[in-house]
Chain A
Amino acid sequence: MFLEVKNLCVDLGQFHLTGVNLNLEKNDYMVIIGPTGSGKSVLLETIAGFFQPQTGKIFLEGEDITNLNPEKRGISIVYQDYVLFPNMNVFENIAYGLEKKVKDREVIKSRVYDMADRLKIEHLLDRNPETLSGGEKQRTAIARSLIVEPNILLMDEPFSALDVNTHAYLTELIKKAISDYQTTCIHVSHNFNDVWSLAEQVAVMKNGKILQQGIVADVFSKPCHNFVADFVGVHNIFEGEVVGKSKGITDVKVNQNLILHSSDTDTNDDKKVMVAVRPENIIFSNQSFVSSIRNQLKGIVTDIILIGPTVWVEVDVNGTTFKGIITPSSLDILGIKKEKEIYLSFKSVNVKIIDEEQSYSALFSA
């Protein structure tokens, strides 16, 4: 394991980490997501060595670096607010870390120009940081951190102060630069697009704890906790009880008149669980139809909300509200409107069973 964080506890008063565990392989790109105040930035700054943990260990390539000074860890950090040194121009900012390692001015100059070229800021090298745009400042900050070829690059919401177009442009640019430099990255973000476009690994944090870490597709499709499910956009999360199992299908009773069928079978009978269905996995139709789909429910449309280019449709099924997501054209074709009867269909493989005990213990101890 390249980076191993074991049972890390930090108490800074307002922010804290409680028993954080994190694993990262070399050249992995991990995005940490979670609500504001969940301790994401404190985790990065503790890994960088700016805060000493009360308990727990941090290992880098097997070596215990918990008590190692920040300057000896080879872990660079990039902040949302850029933190470019105002007493230096762009060239000097980028060269700053390199000057500690390399004494030959020509080598420094050539490497700064190479890095500036990669990040398209070679024309800005003589400028004062105050005169740069947000995107230019962030490219300079990333260049400054990347040029020292760190063991790990930490990025604390690097794109959140940028407009959408700059964000998209920078994502591509930085993805390539990081790939070229073969850098291991931990990136804190609020934006799910960063997860999909950059990360191989994702970790979800809440109240100073990592609730789930894993490959992006796994975490989004198989959330282990109801908070994770809700946070990553599952939306349809219900309490239920396992009432039966047969032929690879688990039946979960959500209420007296509603049983959902899931292909998750790792639960015991009579056990209380949570079940989760992602909105995009729900198919709407005006009629029931025969198919391999195991969950087909009839309900009444209670609300229709237009959000950007998509439409969220809320449907009441025997007292339980499901949320589905469709396009405006599907809305027109199906003639969906409030109070209309509609059928919802979703496959049993898309009904995820979350162990309720595990989920609640994580939430309430967090």
Chain B
Amino acid sequence: MRSKLEISFISISFIFTSILFLIIGSLFVIPSFEGFVNAFFSDEIQFALRLTLSTSIIAAFGVMIVAIPTAYSLARYNFPFKSAVKSIIDLPMAFPEIVLGIAILMLFGNPLIGSILHSLGINIVFTTTGIIIAQFFVAFPYSVRILYSTFNYVNPRYEFVSRSLGYGELETLKNITLPLAKGGIFASSVVTIARCIGTFGAVLLVGGGTYLKTETLPIAIYYNLSLGSIDNAITAAIILVLISFIAIFVLEKYAYQNIEGAG
């Protein structure tokens, strides 16, 4: 016999999950199959898909390279201004990503910094590099947050034992900590790549959203909706939903079931 509280809570979860499902499902109902296929194989959507995937993979790879040592140091070491570092990393999660986009634009669009980078052959504003940088900084806090929790779950005594058996810090990280944290690292990678793919505001401001140059899938949705090309907009949205669905499916299946070494 279920309690009233149990029935109420389960009902709420069912009702709102159904509404959410209805909202997402409506995307798949609106376009005709022919319209979807035409839009999918259009130059604009094909370019946006390739650009989104390539920049997201590069950005996510960069995020993981930086986020693992950052999260590990936050979880394991005490150092000056640690709280400040944590707060700064968390900050972009609290404000709209478009704000982060303006900030990146201001920094790299600054005449001094911009000219220095330009002289080094690095152009960031309104380029693919700019898209990667925007995706990087949008996804970085989420990645660090997941990895920080993961490393906190790995009992430091595993590392103590490994060190006491003759292995140095780096060897212990490689042999013990990273294998024990592999579930969390995988989860973080999936969330990071999903976040990079879905980044809109920051990418639009820093990359410029130029047609067939710096137009990613989220930007394609916005532009095509503004211009009345509903099939293109919805096709781009469906692609994003499918990518997200695959990411979440993989995450549920492989990541959460094996965060080892907890406790």
Contacts and interface: CB of A to CB of B under 8 A. Distances in A.
Interface of A: 45, 48-50, 69-71, 73-77, 79, 81, 83, 85-87, 96-97, 100-101, 144-145, 148, 150, 154
B110 interface: no
B200 to A, nearest CB: 39
Contact of A101 (B166, B179, B180, B260): B166
Contact of A83 (B158, B166, B179): B158
B222 interface: no
B155 A83 contact: yes
Contacts of B179: 87
A71 B166 contact: yes
Contacts of B164: 48-49, 70-71, 73, 75-77, 145, 150, 154
A76 B165 contact: yes
30 contacts: A45-B160, A48-B160, A48-B164, A49-B163, A49-B164, A50-B160, A71-B163, A71-B164, A76-B164, A77-B160, A77-B161, A79-B157, A79-B161, A81-B155, A81-B263, A83-B155, A83-B160, A83-B161, A86-B180, A86-B260, A87-B176, A87-B179, A87-B180, A87-B260, A96-B162, A97-B165, A100-B166, A144-B161, A148-B165, A154-B164
A144 B161 CA distance: 10
A96 B160 contact: no
Sorted nearest first, the 5 A-B pairs with minimum C-beta distance are A97-B165, A70-B163, A100-B166, A87-B179, A86-B260
B31 interface: no
Given A45-B160, A77-B160, A77-B161, A85 B167 contact: no
Contacts of B163: 48-50, 69-71
A45 B160 CA distance: 8
Interface of B: 155, 157-158, 160-168, 175-176, 179-180, 260-261, 263
A70 B160 contact: yes
B97 to A, nearest CB: 37
B230 to A, nearest CB: 51
Contacts of A77: 160-161, 164
A114 B158 CA distance: 24
A86 B211 CA distance: 51
Contacts of A45: 160
A83 B166 CA distance: 16
Nearest to A79: B157
Contacts of A96: 162, 165, 175
A74 to B, nearest CB: 8
Nearest to A148: B165
A71 B167 contact: yes
Contact of A69 (B158, B161, B168): B168
B168 to A, nearest CB: 5
A83 B260 CA distance: 12
A101 B155 CA distance: 25
A97 B167 CA distance: 8
Nearest to B172: A71
A49 B164 CA distance: 8
Contact of B176 (A70, A85, A150, A154): A85
Contacts of B168: 69, 71
Contacts of A101: 166
A335 B168 CA distance: 67
A74 B166 CA distance: 7
Contacts of B261: 86-87
Nearest to B261: A86
Contacts of A150: 164
Nearest to A74: B166
Given A49-B164, A87-B176, A100-B165, 8 more contacts: A48-B160, A48-B163, A69-B168, A74-B166, A79-B157, A87-B179, A100-B166, A154-B164
Contacts of B263: 81
A331 B155 CA distance: 51
B165 A85 contact: no
B177 to A, nearest CB: 10
A148 B244 CA distance: 49
A279 B50 CA distance: 84
Contacts of A74: 166
Contacts of A144: 161, 165
Contacts of A70: 160, 163-164
A71 B162 CA distance: 8
Most buried by B among A87, A100, A154: A87
B164 to A, nearest CB: 5
Contact of A97 (B155, B166, B180, B260): B166
B182 to A, nearest CB: 8
Contact of B166 (A48, A86, A148): A148
A150 B163 CA distance: 13
A331 B125 CA distance: 93
Nearest to A87: B179
Contacts of B161: 77, 79, 83, 85, 144-145
Nearest to A97: B165
A73 B163 CA distance: 10
A76 B168 CA distance: 14
A144 B162 CA distance: 10
Nearest to B180: A87
